[in-house]
Copies of this chain bind each other. A is one copy, B any other.
């Protein structure tokens, strides 16, 4: 019997989850749930229905795991606790500072409903977090660094678009090569934001806009840009669409630790991602952990989990015997 999946929210992440499920022989998409009018939403899978968000409550016996594909700012803080009472679920809540609160509310709701919820699943938080913990546990005397990019930051692109006279924009976060080299060399440098990443902006201005003023607004924007070396290039809408239409991202978790009687040996653990599609990869992680959530629930477990709490075997398609024989 297949694991019956529901998708909540049909943006980039929801569409990615729908595609990822196709690669999972043990799963079946039951429905997509949206806040929009379902008749206006066309999905990629023939024969699968689109429902109103409110319809979910009456479908608890038809869905094993809900994959929540909304945003962390306003959707998930409401939806995850609400759905955790009714469904096993995974979400990709990524507001790092608010994770402990989110965990607490989702944990209480999931326990109340007798369900399992995995939160903050994706790549960061998610696979990067897991690799930070594994590395630091193995070499606790070491130093761990996270670099992001090269990739499109949605938040920074949005911040540029809010500037007067800006029609459209795309921002790339880029790790500084020299910083990567220092870290890999085991130098354990102290690095400022500026030393770790640069920011590259492609901006479409409205006709007649003051380009100098826009450039100035961008590079001096507090938090978003003023702590970084930022380059701004004005391009046509056509060039933006053609050259910068994708959603690539990725990054590096690098941990270095010295071993030996006098710390004479350098050891470097590195995990990296190079993704042509940030949302499609993130949703692939969500789908893998949906499998884990289902299995944990079948074992009678309840409550909230993160990637730290879930053994690799729970996300694997292979049986334990196969894993030991083929993958160990």
Instruction: Give the interface of A toward B (CB within 8 A).
Output: 16, 19-20, 23-24, 44, 96, 99-100, 103, 120, 125, 127, 129-134, 136-141, 184, 246, 250, 257, 259-261, 264-277, 280-281, 284-285, 288, 291, 306-313, 315-318, 320-321, 323-325, 327-328
Closest partner residue, chain B, to A248 (CB atom): B265
The CA-CA distance from A284 to B86 in the complex, in Å, is 43
Do residues B44 and A261 form an inter-chain contact, with CB atoms below 8 A?
yes
The CA-CA distance from A17 to B153 in the complex, in Å, is 42
The CA-CA distance from A267 to B288 in the complex, in Å, is 16
Closest partner residue, chain B, to A259 (CB atom): B280
Do residues B309 and A313 form an inter-chain contact, with CB atoms below 8 A?
yes
Do residues A327 and B259 form an inter-chain contact, with CB atoms below 8 A?
no
Nearest CB of B to A284, in Å:
5
Number of copies of this chain that the complex holds: 2
Do residues A24 and B140 form an inter-chain contact, with CB atoms below 8 A?
yes
**CB contact under 8 A between A129 and B327, given known A140-B317, A259-B16, A288-B138:** yes
Do residues B316 and A137 form an inter-chain contact, with CB atoms below 8 A?
yes
Do residues A308 and B323 form an inter-chain contact, with CB atoms below 8 A?
yes
Do residues B288 and A265 form an inter-chain contact, with CB atoms below 8 A?
no
Do residues A100 and B325 form an inter-chain contact, with CB atoms below 8 A?
yes
Since A137-B317, A311-B311 are in contact, a sample of 19 more A-B pairs with Cβ atoms closer than 8 Å, ordered by chain A residue number, is A24-B140, A44-B261, A130-B312, A133-B312, A136-B316, A138-B281, A138-B285, A184-B274, A259-B280, A259-B281, A259-B284, A260-B277, A265-B275, A266-B276, A267-B281, A270-B274, A272-B272, A306-B324, A308-B324
Do residues A273 and B284 form an inter-chain contact, with CB atoms below 8 A?
no
Do residues A328 and B138 form an inter-chain contact, with CB atoms below 8 A?
no
Contacts of A291 in B (CB 8 A): 137
The CA-CA distance from A250 to B129 in the complex, in Å, is 22
Residue from B277, B310, B316 within 8 A of A265 (CB atoms): B277
Ordered nearest first, which 9 A-B pairs have the shortest CB separation? A265-B276, A259-B280, A265-B277, A268-B274, A137-B315, A308-B313, A23-B141, A311-B311, A125-B328
Closest partner residue, chain B, to A286 (CB atom): B138
Closest partner residue, chain B, to A120 (CB atom): B328
Do residues B308 and A309 form an inter-chain contact, with CB atoms below 8 A?
no
Do residues B270 and A324 form an inter-chain contact, with CB atoms below 8 A?
no
Contacts of A132 in B (CB 8 A): 327
